[in-house]
Amino acid sequence: MDLELEKMLRPPEYDMPLYPPKVITLATGGQMVVRPIERDEVPIVLKAVKPTMKIDRDFYDVVGSRLYSELLSWQKYRCRNAYALIGQVDGILVGCVNGRMLSKKVGISLHTLAIERGIRAGAHLFAAKMEHHIEFLGQKEVWITAESPIGFRRWMIEYELIKQEGVQHELGGAESFKLSRELYFKHKPRLVAGLRPCPPDLLEKARKEIIIADEDMINKQICGAKGAWNK
């Protein structure tokens, strides 16, 4: 590797505070640990994302493909000011979200992927992402777009997001919306869940191993095998 050239290719990055882990008690009674991942954990997360790239349902193929590319780009220092959060129940990866800082004041929401459906993993992780931008990164607003009807209902409608005239989200496609600090704190009591600090035993288990279900199980869970992981 040409180290001097590599230095030029790597984007400059802000000194970003890490998201503090928390635990969310789900409606099923399970406890989901929400935590940031490091670059060296990306390859194992990609193993869970990859099967979704072939699922032609609810735009999982689009979201999975884009998330895979974004995580890989971040791991290899080709995505500026990025981060990723994951949700784990008993160590099992049930969802992943990612985003980045466009500037000190503006955050970019990239993707939200629920690998286990029916437990609101995606909704909780999206809320954690908004929490990260507004409360821990201290940003003024977050820009958001949707690639599926489910995403539009969950984000644009549920959070009463503000449509941005003449602003193009970097993901392209649909209209760009934004979450302001005022809207975030208005909806926080209803939508942002979880307790801190995360119990040490739960956090240690989550960090020790990210458990990935096999491809068949991921397909069944996403495509409607009700209760497949809810034992």
pLDDT at position 136, please?
98
pLDDT at position 224, please?
73
**Helix H or strand E encompassing 155:** none
Q: pLDDT (tens digit, 9 = 90+) per residue, 70-85?
A: 999 999 999 999 999 9
For residue 134, the SS3 value is: helix
Q: Identity (one letter) of the amino acid at 135? A: E
pLDDT at position 231, please?
31
* CATH numbers and ranges of domains, the chain: 3-222 (3.40.630.30)
For residue 222, how far is the Cα from the chain centroid?
A: 17
Q: pLDDT (tens digit, 9 = 90+) per residue, 196-215?
A: 999 999 999 999 999 999 99
DSSP, residue by residue, 84-103: EEEEEETTEEEEEEEEEESS
Geometric angle at alpha carbon 79, from 168 and 193, rounded to 5°: 75
**Helix H or strand E encompassing 113:** strand 106-114
Q: Identity (one letter) of the amino acid at 49? A: V
Q: Is the peptide bond before 197 cis (omega within 30 degrees of 0)?
A: yes
pLDDT at position 1, please?
73
**Helix H or strand E encompassing 193:** none
pLDDT at position 7, please?
86
For residue 193, how many other CB atoms are within 10 A of its CB? 20
pLDDT at position 208, please?
97
CA-atom Rg of the chain in angstroms: 17
Could you list the pLDDT tens digit for every one of the 231 residues in the chain?
Answer: 788 898 889 999 999 999 999 999 999 999 999 999 999 999 999 999 999 999 999 999 999 999 999 999 999 999 999 999 999 999 999 999 999 999 999 999 999 999 999 999 999 999 999 999 999 999 999 999 999 999 999 999 999 999 999 999 999 888 999 999 999 999 999 999 999 999 999 999 999 999 999 999 999 989 874 433 333
> What residues does 47 pair with on adjacent strands?
none
Contacts by residues 196-204 (CB-CB < 8 Å, ≥ 24 positions apart) = 196/20, 196/21, 196/22, 197/20, 197/21, 197/22, 198/21, 198/22, 198/23, 198/33, 198/35, 199/23, 202/23, 202/31, 202/33, 203/21, 203/33, 203/35
For residue 130, the SS3 value is: helix
